[in-house]
Amino acid sequence: MKKITLFLFGLLLVLMPFQVEAKNALKLNNNLTINAGEDAKFTLGIDIDNTVGNNLDKITFEVEVTGGKTDNFYHVVGNVLQTWKVTKTNNNIEIKRYDSSENINSGDNLLEIVIPVKSDSPEGEINVLLKNIVFTVKETPVVTPPTSSDEPSSSEAPEPTYTQIEIDDVARKITVNRKVLSEIASLESLTISIGELNPAFNSSIKEYEVVVKDTINKVTVEAVCKDNCSSINGNTDQTFKKTYTLAKGENDPISVKVISQNTLNSEEYKINFYRGELLEERADLKSLTITGIELDPEFKPNSYNYYIRSPYELESLDIKYELFDNNSEVTIEGNEKLEVGKESKIIIKIVSADTKIEKTYNIYVTREEDTSSSKMIISDGETDKDEKESTPKKSNKLLLIIIIIILALLVIAGSFFFLFKNKKKNGKSKNDKDQDNHGVAISHEDDEELLEYTKEFTEFPNNLNDQIRKDNDYDKL
């Protein structure tokens, strides 16, 4: 029995150093599985024996991350490190005590190591390695008082000694999964604590108007985004809530910016607040439209200059508007007989019911020139005029030609007449001579044929004279 007891005691002495060595260790939580674009968070803690814990001065180590697309890791200070200081130089981490009143106990968590994984990181594993881990233990020698008055006492405290304990490396894995991230950058809801959005909220409408009384000096805006947006006005929990102080009159727009889950898209919503002295005392247009024509830029109550082009046919514009205060007075100037090809100015003046507030909206109008076929009409008119002027000339010329033809025919007819008359005379003389010489009577068939031929030519000029007479009568008419 005595031998067994001695054997167990000796075994205990042999194993004790290994137990102490195993006790002093840096530890992380288990391997992690995350989606690309998320953060991998490891909790850093220690296992130490009481001797090291009471005298631990600092811990140093390096962090090595390989195998995926990551941003630089960073750390978050935990509660235990209220009396400890954490510094990071590149990948080197140092945790050092600056207040000796608090010890680190075994099992305490020191801090978090956060490794952001990029959204474009592929599926696979990322390796995390803590290496070159060193615990530095500070030991202060115990001062032994002199046992007798004869022994000299030391006035100086002995210098502490530092012992470095090397700790085993710690390795972990991050398994990265891919998931389709939403590309929608839109609001699910947008509400205000007082007043009404104009128009009513719609995720596709990006700008709103709100009018409140002068007694309202604060308003709270709340918003919730769609499809797990990555941030809304910087908040990453898909919600936004903030209270704003309103000045009298027009206020700067309150903006709510949404960034999609994949961080590739963004949208901005704006709310324009008007805090009036009284709702009834205003001099603003609520809406402004022109029939058939779009304003440039789009109408806003706090924008006062607009530019348009109107067709030639419109000498004036059909202007329609709404007032915030129906008791205010509106006058429109310059909307009569707009000049063609020039820029005209239409002034819309609004005066509040108490005449204390006055606002002016300006519309600059360029009326286009006439693009119809007016030149062609003028050209046709000139052609008609030329034709009218040329008609008498053509008639005179035709008359002259007819006269020349008639004279020519008369000359020809006269020539034939005298020719046949001489022939007849010569024929008669010959017949007489033949009768005298031969005693034969002359035939009259040739004379009748000549008379018919002559008659035909004598009647033709008479017909032409009749035609000329008719033409002259027509000209007189």
Q: pLDDT per residue over 82-108, tens digit each?
A: 677 888 888 899 988 777 666 677 777
- Among residues 347, 367, 387, the one where a domain terminates is 367
Q: Could you tell me which residue, 294 or 381, shows the higher pLDDT? A: 294
Give me the number of domains the chain comprises. Answer: 4
Q: Report yes or no on 389 lying in a domain.
A: no
Q: How far apart, in whole angstroms, are the C-alpha atoms of residue 11 and residue 214? A: 88
- Residue 362 has a pLDDT of 95
| Residues 221-240: tens digit of each pLDDT | 999 998 889 899 998 888 99
CATH no. for residue 90?
A: 2.60.40.680
pTM of the model: 0.38
Q: Cα 343 to chain center, whole Å?
A: 29
- Residue 151 in domain: no
User: Same domain for 32 and 167?
Assistant: yes
Predicted pLDDT of residue 378? 43
332's CB contacts (< 8 A; 6+ apart) are 319, 346, 347, 348, 349
Mean pLDDT lowest for which of 84-93, 193-202, 450-459? 450-459
235-257 b/e (C-beta count within 10 Å ≥ 16 → b): eeebebeeebebeeeebeebebb
> How far apart are alpha carbons 452 and 468 in whole angstroms?
25
Residues 8-21 have a mean pLDDT of 46
* DSSP string for residues in 191-259: EESSS--BS---TT--EEEEEE-TT--EEEEEEEESS--SEETTBSSSEEEEEEEPPSEE-PPEEEEEE
Residue 19 structure tokens: 């137990």
Task: Indicate whether 12 belongs to any domain.
Answer: no
One domain for residues 165 and 246: no
Alpha-carbon span 226 to 424, nearest angstrom:
128
Tally of CB atoms within 10 A around 172 = 18
Structure tokens at 443: 């035939």
The pLDDT assigned to 349 comes to 94
Give me the mean pLDDT over the 48-54 stretch: 81
Average pLDDT on 210-221 reads 90
48 and 171, same domain (yes or no): yes
Query: The tokens of 196 are what?
Result: 């009404």
Q: Which of 75-89, 128-142, 261-275, 451-465 has the lowest mean pLDDT?
A: 451-465
Provide the 10 A C-beta neighbour count for residue 461: 16
Q: How much of the chain, in percent, has pLDDT values that exceed 90?
A: 33
What's the CA gap between 208 and 190, in Å, rounded?
Answer: 10
**In which domain, by residue range, is 137 found?**
20-141+159-177
Q: Is residue 452 part of a domain?
A: yes
The bridge status of strand 319-323 relative to strand 285-290 is antiparallel
Q: What's the mean pLDDT in 143-166? A: 72
Please indicate, yes or no, whether residues 104 and 26 belong to a single structural domain of this protein: yes
Q: Is residue 8 part of a domain?
A: no
Report the pLDDT value the prediction gives residue 242, as an integer from 0 to 100: 95
Between 306 and 67, the more confident residue is 306
Same structural domain, 24 and 173:
yes
Structure tokens, 432: 């007489």
Q: Which residue has the higher pLDDT, 186 or 100?
A: 186
The CATH number of the domain where 217 resides is what?
2.60.40
CA dihedral of 431, 436, 437, 439, whole degrees rounded to 10: 90
pLDDT band for position 138 (cuts 50, 70, 90): confident
Question: Are 277 and 249 within 8 A, CB to CB?
Answer: no
Of 76, 136, 141, the C-alpha closest to 104 is 136
Look at 184-198, 278-292, 449-463 and tell me which has the smallest mean pLDDT. Answer: 449-463
What CA–CA distance (Å, rounded) separates 440 from 224? 146
Asked whether the bond before 461 is cis by omega within 30 degrees of 0, the reply is: no
Residue 192 sits in the same domain as residue 263: yes
Q: Which of 46-50, 102-106, 443-447 has the lowest mean pLDDT?
A: 443-447
The pLDDT of 167-175, averaged and rounded, is: 94
- Of 179, 177, 266, 178, nearest to 230 (Cα)? 266
pLDDT tens-digit series, residues 260-305: 988 889 999 999 999 875 445 678 898 999 999 999 999 998 899 9
Sequence letter at residue 61: F
Tally Cβ neighbours within 10 Å of residue 126.
Answer: 21
- Banded pLDDT at 414 (limits 50, 70, 90): confident
Least confident of 9-18, 53-62, 160-169, 466-475: 9-18
Distance CA 237, CA 181 (A): 16
Is there a single domain that holds both residue 71 and residue 122? yes
Q: What pLDDT, on a 0 to 100 scale, did the predictor assign at position 327?
A: 77
**Residue 206 forms part of a structural domain:** yes
111-120, 209-218, 319-328, 422-431: the lowest-pLDDT one: 422-431
251 assigned to some structural domain: yes
- Would you state the pLDDT for residue 193? 94
Residues 195 and 171 in one domain: no
Q: For residue 393, tell me if it sits in a domain.
A: no
Do 166 and 257 lie in one domain? The reply is: no
Same domain, yes or no, for 332 and 198?
A: no
Say whether both 94 and 75 belong to one domain.
Answer: yes
Position 75 scores a pLDDT of: 73
Asked whether residue 262 falls in the same domain as residue 353, the answer is no
Average pLDDT for the chain? 79
